[in-house]
Amino acid sequence: PKITEPQYTVEGADFILRDDDYNVFVQAFLDAEGKNNAFPFKCPLDYYCTATRIYYDTDSFQQGILVPIGNGDYQIVKQYYILGVSSYKTITLPVDGTIKVFKDDVEVFPTVDLSTGVVSFGSVQTGTLTVDCEFRLPMRFDVDENQLNQIKRAVNNAYVNSDSSLYLAVNFRLVECMNY
């Protein structure tokens, strides 16, 4: 299918992990069954949207908005407006406890599905609908078992710090999934 919005890719080249953190990394890979399953990932560069526009300059901003999808339901979307061009990111994994929905700048309390980012009012709304929330991206590993085994054997890339902890250099890639 055609991709209709930007997708994130996260790469770690020679990403340094302590030996105990490396074991957590390997367990996460195994829990996700490698490339098979997505998991919620907090992207440190883009993990929240705000109801109030955040301006980069006078002609560029970002904002959390609600887009109608029918029957009083709305999708959380992050709008990016840069130099006269809008792009949109569908938010499917909002974080519980961080979500505030606004209608004409007044907080309202609709139902929010945390697994889809769908906000349900029960009826069609008028006015401006915006949202504050943190979100996660559905990501999956983009390495296979053979590559993971190569990572495990990369002991020659390991070194010992002054506190006698073993550190490993790990290479990995995560890609955003459309379906979670």
pLDDT tens, position by position, 115-158: 999 999 999 999 999 999 999 999 998 877 656 655 554 444 55
pLDDT at 13 over 60: yes
**0.75 cut: is pTM over it?**
yes
| Distance (Å, whole) CA 114 – CA 154 | 39
Write down the pLDDT at residue 34: 83
Q: Which of 23 and 107 is assigned the larger pLDDT?
A: 107
Checking if the pLDDT of 1 tops 70, the result is: no
Residues 121, 110 contacting (CB under 8 angstroms): yes
Task: Classify 14 as helix, strand or coil.
Answer: strand
Class of residue 177 by CB neighbours under 10 A (exposed 0-12, middle 13-18, buried 19+): middle
pLDDT in tens, 53-97: 999 888 889 999 999 999 999 999 999 998 888 889 999 999 999
Report the C-alpha gap between 87 and 79 in whole angstroms: 6
pLDDT digits (tens, 9 = 90+) for 20-40: 777 888 888 888 888 889 999
